[in-house]
């Protein structure tokens, strides 16, 4: 087994996440990102995996009997012949170009990950007075990080009527540092010819999310940090012809995490954005085991490769997406379903039901929680044996009453 990464060290984004909150599920300890990455790296070394760093993979070609992974290292081409490939390419941040903010294009506008890299890995301070756009956990953590470095953080602005970050992070990152959170308010204009001089913010209509005229306010600052979502990185996947989901931005997979291209598997943020590193690692283990089984010839084909159409996994009421999108009829044991709700749901009741054929309407799994928010990935297991004779299952999340007595579904424990 070989592992290649374009960076000089393994760990991906974890290397720059110096805050704690990692490993609660997997290591049963509260670790920082680098500590978590170091433990996973040691496991990889102990397993005898060949690790190659500074290798940028450009494309994956089909060789008939296997895959040819083509990359570059120090300007030279590198070829790897493999029977199976796991794509764990992570995600990209949504940048200024995708946000449609009017005005100039001065320096001083950074994505949160970029500002985090400057501060935590390079010892650089991005500015003196900052505004954060987006109140997900990454935006909240960066607001605190900048405050701790002496940057005056003037506020966190969120277009939605609710923060997509965890309550705990709002308290520990904003309230404890006196940083105001402005909901239903966004940045509409940038000012400054060379360096950012001010941002103009405005209220938005909660229904249309469009700015409301007359509510504009000019805020002088030299730094704008954008924390406006992550997009699965799948440029390499596209070269291999992997079918992508328009909803998750990641590959369409079955319960083995097999993509539509035989021999290619996907996991982590490349498959769908994870809020917990623990779940991304666990998914990586599953994809690795599936790739090994494929390479040994124990299983064949990509997702939906058998003659019989697989069991469709559908996002029902209140659910934005479910991964995997299909389950093969020969699946065994417990199948993990990961999903997100499409809106805030109080007193939420989650259900996985058979929707067609024998036993239509039968509930396969059920859970409840006090509240579900789109920012928290949720997970439920279904027993593969219980799917016999079924062609479609639906995952739904609806508002129920007696939520307080219910066992919580997995997720959101950060």
Q: Which residues bind ligand FAD (CB under 6 A)?
A: 4-7, 12-14, 17, 21-22, 55-57, 88-91, 113, 116, 137-138, 141, 233, 236, 268-270, 274-278, 280, 414
Residue 249 backbone class (left: φ over 0; alpha: ψ -120 to 50; beta: rest): left
Closest contact distance (angstroms) between CB of 413 and ligand FAD is 9
Q: How far apart are CA 289 and CA 307, in angstroms?
A: 24
Name the minimum Å distance from CB 15 to ligand FAD.
8
Query: At its nearest, how many Å lie between ligand FAD and the CB of residue 282?
Result: 11
> What b/e string do you get for 133-151 counting C-beta neighbours within 10 Å, with b at 16 or more?
bbbbbbbbbbbbbbbeeeb
Least spacing, CB of residue 102 vs ligand FAD, in Å: 27
216-225 burial string, b = 16+ CB within 10 Å, else e? Answer: eeebebbbbb
Of the two residues 109 and 382, which places its CB atom closer to ligand FAD in the complex?
109
Q: Provide the minimum distance between the beta carbon of 318 and ligand FAD in the complex, in angstroms, as a whole number.
A: 23
Least distance to ligand FAD from the beta carbon of 124, Å? 17
d(CA 414, CA 373): 14
Comparing CB distances to ligand FAD, the nearer of 226 and 236 is 236
CB nearer to ligand FAD: pick between 198 and 257? 257
**Residue number with CB closer to ligand FAD (82 or 204):** 82
Distances (CA, A) of 338 to 246, 363, 372, 376, 387: 17, 17, 14, 10, 17
- Cross-strand partners of 82: 67
Minimum Å distance from CB 260 to ligand FAD? 19
> Minimal distance in Å, beta carbon 48 to ligand FAD?
20
Q: Which is nearer to ligand FAD, 79 or 405 (CB)?
A: 79
Nearer to ligand FAD, 109 or 270 (CB): 270
**Cβ distance to ligand FAD smaller for residue 44 or 406:** 44
CA angle 233, 238, 244 (to 5 degrees): 75
Closest distance of CB 367 from ligand FAD, Å: 21
User: Which is nearer to ligand FAD, 64 or 75 (by Cβ)?
Assistant: 75
Q: For residues 289 and 299, which CB has a smaller minimum distance to ligand FAD in the complex? A: 289
Report in angstroms how near the CB of residue 348 gets to ligand FAD at its nearest. 22
Q: How many residues does the chain have?
A: 414
Nearer to ligand FAD, 90 or 347 (CB): 90
């Amino acid at each position: 087994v070989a592992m290649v990464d374009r960076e000089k060290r393994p760990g991906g984004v974890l290397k720059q996440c110096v805050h704690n909150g990692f490993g609660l599920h997997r290591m049963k300890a509260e670790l920082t990102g680098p500590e978590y990455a170091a433990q996973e790296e040691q496991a990889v070394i102990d397993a005898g995996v060949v690790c190659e760093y500074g290798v940028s993979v450009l494309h994956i070609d089909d060789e008939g009997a296997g895959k040819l992974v083509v990359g570059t290292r120090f300007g030279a081409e590198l070829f790897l012949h493999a029977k199976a490939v796991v794509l764990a390419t992570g995600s990209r941040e949504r940048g200024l170009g995708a946000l449609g903010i009017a005005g100039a294009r001065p320096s001083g506008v950074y994505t949160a990950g970029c500002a985090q890299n400057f501060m935590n890995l390079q010892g650089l301070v991005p500015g003196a007075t900052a505004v954060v756009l987006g109140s997900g956990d990454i935006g909240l953590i960066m607001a605190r990080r900048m405050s701790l470095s002496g940057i005056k953080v003037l506020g966190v602005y969120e277009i939605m009527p609710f923060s997509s970050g965890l309550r705990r992070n709002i308290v520990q990152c904003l309230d404890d540092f006196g940083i105001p959170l402005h909901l239903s308010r966004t940045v509409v204009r940038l000012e400054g010819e060379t360096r950012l001089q001010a941002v103009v913010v405005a209220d938005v209509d909660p229904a249309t999310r469009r700015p409301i005229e007359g509510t504009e306010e000019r805020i002088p600052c030299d730094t704008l940090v954008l924390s406006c979502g992550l997009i699965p990185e799948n440029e390499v996947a596209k070269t291999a012809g992997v079918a992508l989901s328009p909803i998750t931005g990641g590959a369409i997979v079955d319960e083995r995490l097999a993509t539509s291209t035989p021999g290619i598997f996907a996991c982590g943020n490349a498959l769908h954005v994870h809020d917990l590193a623990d779940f991304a690692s666990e998914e990586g283990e599953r994809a690795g085991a599936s790739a090994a089984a494929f390479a040994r010839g124990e299983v064949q084909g990509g997702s939906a490769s058998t003659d019989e159409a697989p069991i469709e996994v559908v996002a029902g009421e209140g659910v934005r997406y479910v991964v995997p999108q299909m389950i093969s009829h020969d699946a065994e044991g417990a199948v993990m379903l990961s999903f997100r709700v499409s809106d805030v749901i109080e007193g939420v009741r989650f259900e996985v039901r058979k929707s067609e054929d024998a036993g239509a309407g039968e509930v396969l799994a059920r859970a409840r929680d006090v509240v579900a928010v789109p920012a928290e990935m949720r997970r439920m297991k279904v027993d593969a044996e219980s799917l016999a004779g079924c062609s479609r299952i639906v995952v739904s999340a609806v508002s129920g009453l007696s939520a307080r007595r219910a066992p919580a579904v997995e997720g959101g424990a950060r």
